Amino acid sequence: MSDNSTKQFLIFGDPVEHSKSPQMQNAGFKNLNIDAHYEKYHLKAEKLLKKTFLEKGIDGANITVPYKEAAFKQADEIVGVAEKIGAVNTYIKHDDKIFAYNTDAPGFMKAIEDFGEIQTVLLMGAGGTAKAIAVALREAGIQVSVLNRSKNRLEFFKELGCKTFTWDSFMLDSFDLIVNSTSAGLKDEEYPLEKRRLENIFFNARFAFDCIYGKETPFLKLARKEGIKVKDGEDMLLYQGVLAFKLFTGQEPGTSTIEAMRQGLKQT
C-alpha cells in the first residue's frame, strides 16, 4: 500500500485473480493523474465483507462474484437502481458509512446500445448479474424471459414482470437478444443450455451477448456460427467500471480516459 494521501480501492471476490478491474481502474487514474491505487482482494467468507472493507481503511471497492447480494445486505445505504436489484457491485465510504451502488445495470444497457432496437430478451441464469440486467431491461420497457436450470431464484424475476422458465418448462419462442449471465464457458467449454436447444433458440434471434469477457465462449461461437451479431462482456465490464470510476473519483471520465481504461482491460 502507498502513503495515506493515496486513495485506496479494492475488488472483493472469490475467485478474484482473473479480474481485470485493477488494470482498468489504475489506467484511468493514471490518465487523469489521480493519486489512487486499486488492487485485488481474495475474500473467502461473505460475512467478512463489511468488516474487511472498514478495517482496510479504503475509500471504495468493487464487489464481484459471488458476493454482490451479500454486499447489498451489509451496506449502510443503498443508492438508486440497486434498491430494486437487491445486489450491488460498488461500495463508497462516506463518514464511516458504506454507500452501495449497482453499476452493472446501466453498464449493460450501454454495452448493448450498438445492437439497435430490442423488444424481447431471453436471459439465461438467475444470479446477481442477471438481476441487474433484468431490472435494467424492464425499466427500458423490454420484455424479458428468464431461463434457469432450476426454480430456485426465479421468484424475483416473476415479481419484476418477467416470464420465467426452468429447463424442463421452457418452450421455444422468438427473441431479439439472447444473454448468457451464467458462468458456463468461463473455465470450461460448457454451454448454458444443451447445444441442440441453443441452436434452435439462435435460429430466430438477432443478437447474442455473453457476460463473460476475455474469451470466445462456446455460447458465442455457436451464435456466431448461426450468423448472429455477438458481443462478449468487455463493454459491460468497461462501462460499469467507468461508472464506478466516476463514483470513486467524483470526475466524469472523458473519451481519452475511457479509451485508456479499455486498453487497461486488454492488458494480459
Identify residue 164 by its one-letter amino acid code.
Answer: T
Catalytic residue among 40, 68, 131, 231: 68
Identify residue 232 by its one-letter amino acid code.
Answer: D
Q: What would the DSSP string read from start to end of 76-89?
A: SEE-TTHHHHT---
Q: For residue 100, give the 3-state DSSP assignment.
A: strand
Question: With contact defined as beta carbons under 8 Å apart, do 215 and 203 qualify?
Answer: no
Q: Which is it for strands 97-101 and 90-94: parallel, antiparallel or unpaired? A: antiparallel
Q: Check if 187 is active-site.
A: no
Cβ-count burial of 232 within 10 angstroms (0-12 exposed, 13-18 middle, 19+ buried)? buried
Question: With contact defined as beta carbons under 8 Å apart, do 112 and 84 qualify?
Answer: no
Query: Any idea which residues carry the catalytic annotation?
Result: 68
